[in-house]
Amino acid sequence: MGNADAPNAADSRPRPDDGPDDRHEAFVRLLMEHEGRVRGFLRGLLPSWNDVDEVIQQASIVAWRKFPEFDRQTNFGGWLLVIARYEALKHRRRLARSPLVFSEEVWELLANEAEPAHAAEAIDRRRTALEHCLDKLGAEQRRLLLETHTPGVRLNEIARRAGRSEQAFYKVVQRLRAAVLDCMRGQLVPESAP
């Protein structure tokens, strides 16, 4: 995949003479291309995947409404990220009483530092690193780790099926995550070094 952040990288950006169907198609293609990246960005700001889903849905609606104004010389991913960040902030205010919601000060710090880290190329590198590191796990460990990250699956149910206590099972999952993360860091160092 090329650098989707570069201007004119996508030939599906809207043009003044685009009809509704053309515009719709262009929008869907761009959204499809960049949604994963925006979801990742939001995950570092919002306490649950349900919150991320709500914000991404709202951000997509806003983006679609504003799409006729979108400048084809700019990058869609960055534009969507800005919209998503604003929608996340609004969502965060609604969640403010939750103990898992950080103060606005911390939230701003996380958001500011996360934006550059979610450039398309950086995400691609991390994806490749994850694939490599998952391959290094045993088949059963890989299956278990992915199963715990499958939407709608509850950790306590997997633990019960595995015949283990939830607490003990959670520790296993934690160790696997840490191992994969350490492995990914090892993979990414050479590329990110000056």
Partner 1 sequence: MTDHGRRDLISSWLDGRLSAEESARLEQDLLHSRAARDEFRAWADLDSLLVQQAEAGQNNSNNAELEAQVAMPGVRRPWWIAAAAGSAAAVIAMVLVVWAVRPPVDRPLATVTGTQFLLPAEPAAALAAGQSLDTGRLSILSGAVEMTLRNGVTIILQGPGELELIDEMKAFLHTGNAVVRVPKGMSGFRLDTATTDVLDLGTEFAVKAESGFITEVQVYDGAVIATGKDMQSGGRFPKRLEAGQAARFSPQSVAGSEPIPYSESRFIRRLPAEPGIELDHWRERDEELRRFGNPQRDAITVARAAGFVVVDAKLGEWSHAGGFTGSLDGDPADAEWVDGRMMYDDECLYIAAHVGDPAPMRNTSDPSLDPVMAWQGGSLQVRISTDRVMGWPVDANGPSYYRMRKLEPNDEERLKATNPRLSHLTMWHHAPSGKAAIAINHGMGFDGYLVNPEGVRGAFARDPDGRGYVLEYAIPWRLLNAAEDPPRAGDVLGVVWQVHWSDTAGQIWRDQMVEIRNPHELRRILPFERAATWGRAEFQ
Minimum distance, C-beta of residue 6 to partner 1, in the bound complex (Å): 19
Query: 6 vs 109, which CB is nearer to partner 1?
Result: 109
Query: 72 vs 170, which CB is nearer to partner 1?
Result: 170
Binding site for partner 1 (CB under 8 A): 1, 19-20, 23-25, 28-29, 31-32, 35-36, 39-40, 43-44, 47-49, 53, 56-57, 60-61, 64, 99-100, 102-103, 105-106, 109-110, 113-114, 117, 126-127, 130-131, 134, 145-147, 149-151, 155, 170, 174, 177-178, 180-181, 184-185
Query: 71 vs 104, which CB is nearer to partner 1?
Result: 104
Inter-residue contact 144 to 173 (CB < 8 Å): yes
DSSP string, the chain: ---TTSTT--TTS--TT--HHHHHHHHHHHHHHHHHHHHHHHHTTSSSHHHHHHHHHHHHHHHHHHGGG--TTS-HHHHHHHHHHHHHHHHHHHTTTSTTSPPHHHHHHHHHHHHHHT-HHHHHHHHHHHHHHHHHS-HHHHHHHHHHTSTT--HHHHHHHTTS-HHHHHHHHHHHHHHHHHHHHHHHHHHH--
Minimum distance, C-beta of residue 43 to partner 1, in the bound complex (Å): 4
Minimum distance, C-beta of residue 92 to partner 1, in the bound complex (Å): 13
Minimum distance, C-beta of residue 19 to partner 1, in the bound complex (Å): 8
Query: 49 vs 86, which CB is nearer to partner 1?
Result: 49
Minimum distance, C-beta of residue 42 to partner 1, in the bound complex (Å): 9
